[in-house]
Structure 1
Amino acid sequence: MGRNLALNIESRGYTVSVFNRSREKTEEVIAENSGKKLVPYYTVQEFVESLETPRRILLMVKAGAGTDSAIDSLKPYLDKGDIIIDGGNTFFQDTIRRNRELSAEGFNFIGTGVSGGEEGALKGPSIMPGGQKEAYELVAPILKQIAAVAEDGEPCVTYIGADGAGHYVKMVHNGIEYGDMQLIAEAYALLKGGLALSNEELAQTFTEWNEGELSSYLIDITKDIFTKKDDEGKYLVDVILDEAANKGTGKWTSQSSLDLGEPLSLITESVFARYISSLKDQRVAASKVLSGPQAQPAGDKAEFIEKVRRALYLGKIVSYAQGFSQLRAASDEYNWDLNYGEIAKIFRAGCIIRAQFLQKITDAYAQNADIANLLLAPYFKQIADDYQQALRDVVAYAVQNGIPVPTFSAAIAYYDSYRSAVL
């Protein structure tokens, strides 16, 4: 990520000073990019002294103690007003602390969420900076040049808010990403288990879905996964180990929801789904002991595919409704004054959750910036009216036939709970 961000910045006409505590890695980057305006430095002091003031230093290190160590190594050589940008996946409370501590010493600290992976870092990520507004204004020209660009020509970067706001929004973004991926996995399980679709048929189905309201990066790459084969000519999706890892940001999102009293049920179920997937040996053993129903055919093929599509879209809406509701609660708790429409806008390109329907979220907040929950916005309410029966039917079929759909189930449970005047 750090290397590709440096190359992205360099490609915009800047000369970039680079430093890594490993001399070998620094030399490797320079050797692989000869002719680029990357200038290597092999001591922290030389690196810092090479920069124009106010210095703008982008840190890309593993979150945690490594970030504190890197900051401590920089401080002896900084001048008041210099800017440190932390572009790692940092826990927002750590960013709040670092912002407070560095501000007291006269330095600026911008905790910045960066989404898009290594490719996005090189070609244009979605960028979520938070910290001192005046410091952001000094780095905004660079960030706007390296960010992804949406279809309307707007760069996918905006000032998020004070101290830890940027990293908090990135954390919730990752939680939504978890939810998106689990919903897609469950849609696959339903089509495979209920209709016995071939991988070619699954690829065609997802291709068609990607041409409509489900159009998104994750649907786009999923359609390609179905036809990917390994060296032996076997479909990769059929042989890959069904264990999912996690980097902690989904867990942080769920933990924060408990702190704030927010019902983040769908996203939390997606975290739990990863945890239970990691119990592979136990699941294999349990499959030989615990009984369940034998899955029966789901009926008419075209009808069931459409029901799953509708259920997936409504589930996605519920996931985003929960995520943005949590952003509102966090904004109130930490005095961030978040702009939810702007946040949705910077997710439209560059990031993992980029999707066509994010414009609908931006539109909803443009119509009513104070709306309590996206489900109450006219467009999303209409979708819920039209699609909820499909979601109910799909969940009922899954339960009756022993197909686990934790996030689909969480979606309809949340919807019914939220619309209930009495619980």
Structure 2
Amino acid sequence: MSAQIGVTGLAVMGANLARNLARNGYTVALHNRSIEKTDALLEKYGHEGDFIRTESLQELVDSLEKPRRVLIMVKAGKPVDSVIDQLVPLLEPEDIIIDAGNSHYEDTRRREAALAEKGLFFVGVGVSGGEEGALLGPSIMPGGSRKSYESLGPMLEKISAKYKGEACCAWIGTDGAGHFVKMVHNGIEYADMQVIGEAYDVLRSAAGIEPAEQADIFTEWNKGTLSSFLIEITAEVLRHTDPRSDKPFVDILVDSAGQKGTGRWTVVSALELGSPTSGIAESVFARGLSSQREQRLLAQETLKGHESSVELPESFVEDVRLALYASKIVSYAQGMDMLGAAAKEYGWELKLDEIASLWRAGCIIRAELLDDVMKAYAGEDRPANLLLAPAFAEAIAEAVPAWRRVVATAVQLGIPVPVFSSSLAYYDGLRRKRLPAALTQGLRDLFGAHTYNRVDAEGTFHTQWSGDRSEIEAVDTH
């Protein structure tokens, strides 16, 4: 018996992907550095399908049909390079190495180019959905060459999540495109979770609504335009009571959020691309601030807030819902804008409507609004920014007054709402006729002769500030 695919790295995600493949009728060769994990998987789940037990990478490769497909599921970074280095001498031209972990897309681009020189295919695959998704059907975002997808694609599509019968898997683009799209997905996820947290904080700190009652509010919100996986599980977390203390579960959790790096990568990449992902950036910084517990404890004793009292309108809960919805739309808009910038930079033909369709099931940011995101980019008249799509422009226009009231209330009460407020600032920045960047350009020209453009003339200019302050036409030094 030969296997259609091999999986090396049988921690939870790798094991669940292997099981998913076997459940879908594929024979899967298993390998792990410690054979105990292989045997544990086979003992517990061997009945789920056809598996081949191997004790070395050589055995793994020997057990595979050609072209060989080897899926790596190890920690990102050097461990991936180490496994690749061990595999390459064992493989033949047109064999495929698949990295389904959260690798940085630049690493994927480097690896793809290096292996192409050896006649091997390297495919960086973004996988979203966590442990459950890996087993039951994740959202899958494969990169690599189009030819490699001909061999690998049908298999990935079969094990992926399905939305109304459609596979949440499609070829994204060459080299690191798959991992780049997964990275941006995670950036949106960071912002999404942060605005949900800000909504919870404002409802509790301003309106005094306790977690159990908020659970009912979020459950109701999940029936409308906010319907999404994250809103659904927010209600579940807020409704849970800690059995040890009988307190709301959320109250016994340390208020310091961890991160594994993909959000930070998104922000760094956005800066390099010149793509303004301010909401995503603020969500990453908010996690960083939450982790500075010693400084926060000192600040609680030292820093004064001078909060003022605020009379809340009867519509405050609805105001928060609208502010949350508008901020969520902005996070998707910023992510999509970043994907467009990356497509230009790296020569990827990213189909934004198709990418949105892949996120409708299986992944963490699955949400009803993705149908509208997909429709916005599906036609010939694609918006320059998601916020300019008629459906979203109209929705945010209706939400703006409430959005402003929520941000103003939070500021007056000293409740930090970095993503609510930065998302509103992004929206206002897009629609303002004039921005203070004009003054910034004047300052840059004065201290560094960086030149400027005029609104009433073509060309690039410089004012001779240290001389007679006359204007001269200059070579653009931006």
User: TM class by shorter-chain length?
Assistant: over 0.9
Moved over 6 A (4+): none
CA shift, 1:419, in A, is 1.0
Q: Which residue of 2 aligns with 1:362?
A: 374
Sequence identity percentage: 52
Q: Which residue of 1 aligns with 2:351?
A: 339
Unaligned ranges ≥5, structure 2: 1-12, 436-478
CA shift, 1:281, in A, is 2.0
Q: Which residue of 2 aligns with 1:230?
A: 242
Q: 3-state DSSP class of the match of 1:33?
A: helix
Q: Distance in 2 between matches of 1:245 and 1:379?
A: 35
Tell me whether 1:247 sits opposite 2:251 in the alignment. Answer: no
* Greater mean deviation of Cα atoms: 221-230 or 106-115: 221-230
Tell me whether 1:32 sits opposite 2:44 in the alignment. Answer: yes
Q: 1:298 to 1:200 in 2, by over 3 A?
A: farther
CA shift, 1:296, in A, is 3.4
Q: Which has more radius of gyration?
A: 2
List per-residue Cα deviations over 1:242-279 (Å, max 9, x = no partner): 00010000000000011011111000000000000001
List per-residue Cα deviations over 1:216-244 (Å, max 9, x = no partner): 00000000111212222221111110000
State the superposition RMSD in angstroms.
Answer: 1.1
Could you tell me which amino acid in structure 2 is paired with residue 106 of structure 1? G
Tell me whether 1:109 sits opposite 2:138 in the alignment. Answer: no
CA shift, 1:376, in A, is 0.5
Structure 2 counterparts to residues 19-418 of structure 1, below 5 A: 19-35=31-47, 36-150=49-163, 152-232=164-244, 233-294=246-307, 296=309, 298-301=311-314, 303-368=315-380, 370-418=382-430
Asked whether the equivalents of residues 195 and 297 of structure 1 are also in contact (C-alpha less than 8 Å), the reply is no
List per-residue Cα deviations over 1:161-218 (Å, max 9, x = no partner): 0000000000000000000000000000110011100222101100110000000000
* Greater mean deviation of Cα atoms: 380-389 or 334-343: 380-389
Asked whether the equivalents of residues 193 and 295 of structure 1 are also in contact (C-alpha less than 8 Å), the reply is no
CA shift, 1:364, in A, is 0.3
Asked whether the equivalents of residues 58 and 84 of structure 1 are also in contact (C-alpha less than 8 Å), the reply is yes
Could you tell me which amino acid in structure 1 is paired with residue 15 of structure 2? R
CA shift, 1:284, in A, is 1.6
CA shift, 1:370, in A, is 3.8
CA shift, 1:117, in A, is 0.3
Q: 3-state DSSP class of the match of 1:62?
A: coil
- Structure having greater relative contact order (Cα 8 Å, sep ≥ 6): 1
CA shift, 1:34, in A, is 3.1
List per-residue Cα deviations over 1:276-300 (Å, max 9, x = no partner): 0001121122111111134635523
Q: Distance in 2 between matches of 1:284 and 1:161?
A: 47
* Total equivalences in the alignment: 421
Asked whether the equivalents of residues 195 and 298 of structure 1 are also in contact (C-alpha less than 8 Å), the reply is no
Q: 3-state DSSP class of the match of 2:71?
A: strand
Q: 1:25 to 1:278 in 2, by over 3 A?
A: same
Asked whether the equivalents of residues 148 and 349 of structure 1 are also in contact (C-alpha less than 8 Å), the reply is yes
Could you tell me which amino acid in structure 1 is paired with residue 378 of structure 2? A
TM-score (norm 1): 0.98
Could you tell me which amino acid in structure 2 is paired with residue 386 of structure 1? E
Q: Distance in 2 between matches of 1:298 and 1:380?
A: 30
1:14 to 22, 26, 30: 26
Q: Distance in 1 between matches of 2:391 and 2:306?
A: 38
Q: Distance in 2 between matches of 1:60 and 1:295?
A: 52
Asked whether the equivalents of residues 91 and 167 of structure 1 are also in contact (C-alpha less than 8 Å), the reply is yes
Q: 1:181 to 1:292 in 2, by over 3 A?
A: same
